[in-house]
């Protein structure tokens, strides 16, 4: 996917700017244009949401719309609120979910990020799938022994899931830290001589393309307001 080759920091910058523009836009026409633009950007970027994700989002938006109406919001304003919500929640998957953690850490390192923080980020991203599989195994084992999720089972959940997970995590942390220290890892020196990825023409083209229509919409709305 071409969108994955864009510098992650540029994508984060575009996400922040687009979120600000989504907040500033007030008319449903502009907001629907922005939402449509984000859908197209995601589609040509290769983003294909599953039926489950679409159904979940539809339920959430319906409930949100009904609550808006229950609080006395006019249908026109409700549509506006829904469109803004969709735009804000589309920005994340379209721009930042296409960032690979390794590229993000490389880019942050290029911005003179302290070695410790870069290390921490790598460890966080690297160990999420490992610890997730551990957590799921622990939860399944607890379920086999009769644990059911209900409000009154907080203490039981703590004993059968949280306690084993915490012991496992502490043990993993000790192993990783010891392994790094044994290998002579130091926070003073950069652990790699490889340069991080810098800015290129494709990044400049991307930010120009991503910001062109939203800025035009914002400008158009402001001009209409003053007219």
Interface residues with another protein (CB under 8 A)?
Answer: 12, 15-16, 19, 22-23, 56, 59-60, 63-64, 67-68, 71-73, 77-78, 80-81, 84-85, 88-89, 91-93, 96-97, 99, 104, 114, 116-117, 119-125, 127-128, 131-132, 135, 139, 149, 154, 157-158, 162-163, 165-167, 169-174, 176-177, 180-181, 185-188
Shortest CB 204 distance to another protein, Å: 22
CB of 162 to another protein, least distance (A): 5
Q: How far is the CB of 209 from another protein (least distance, A)?
A: 20
Please, which residue, 66 or 204, has the CB nearer to another protein? 66
For the bound state, the minimum distance from the C-beta of residue 128 to another protein, rounded and expressed in Å, comes to 5
Picking from 62, 23, 15, 7, the residue whose alpha carbon sits closest to that of residue 198 is 7
Of the pair 145, 183, the CB lying nearest another protein is at: 183
Query: 202 and 5 in contact (C-beta within 8 Å)?
Result: yes
Q: Which is nearer to another protein, 90 or 203 (CB)?
A: 90
Nearer CB in complex with another protein: 32/169: 169
Q: How far is the CB of 68 from another protein (least distance, A)?
A: 5
**DSSP string covering the chain:** -GGGGS-HHHHHHHHHHHHHHHHH--SHHHHHHHHHHHHHHHHHTT----HHHHHHHHHHHHHHHHHHHHTT--HHHHHHHHHHHHHHHHHIIIIITT--HHHHHHHHHHTT--HHHHHHHHHHHHHHHHHHHHHHHHHHHHHHTT----GGGHHHHIIIIIHHHHHHHHHHHHHHHHHHHHTT--SSS-S--SPPP---HHHHHHHHHHHHHHHHHHHHHHHHHH-
Question: Based on CB atoms, which residue is closest to another protein, 124 or 212?
Answer: 124
* Nearest to another protein of 157, 197 (CB atom): 157
User: What's the min distance (Å) between Cβ of 201 and another protein?
Assistant: 25
């Amino acid at each position: 996917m071409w969108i994955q080759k864009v510098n992650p920091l540029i994508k984060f910058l575009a996400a922040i700017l687009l979120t600000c523009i989504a907040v500033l836009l007030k008319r449903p026409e502009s907001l629907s244009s922005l939402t449509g633009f984000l859908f197209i950007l995601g589609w040509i970027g290769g983003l294909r949401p599953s039926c489950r994700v679409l159904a979940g989002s539809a339920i959430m938006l319906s409930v949100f719309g009904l609550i808006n109406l229950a609080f006395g919001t006019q249908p026109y304003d409700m549509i506006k609120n829904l469109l803004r919500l969709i735009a804000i929640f589309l920005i994340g998957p379209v721009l930042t979910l296409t960032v690979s953690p390794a590229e993000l850490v490389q880019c942050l390192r290029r911005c003179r990020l302290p070695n410790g923080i870069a290390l921490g980020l790598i460890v966080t991203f690297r160990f999420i799938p490992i610890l997730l599989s551990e957590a799921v195994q622990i939860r399944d084992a607890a379920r086999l022994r009769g644990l059911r999720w209900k409000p009154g089972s907080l203490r039981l959940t703590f004993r059968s899931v949280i306690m084993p997970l915490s012991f496992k995590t502490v043990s993993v942390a000790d192993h990783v830290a010891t392994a790094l220290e044994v290998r002579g890892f130091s926070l003073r020196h950069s652990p790699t001589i490889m340069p991080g990825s810098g800015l290129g023409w494709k990044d400049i083209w991307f930010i120009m393309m991503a910001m062109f229509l939203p800025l035009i919409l914002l400008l158009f709305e402001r001009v209409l307001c003053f007219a």
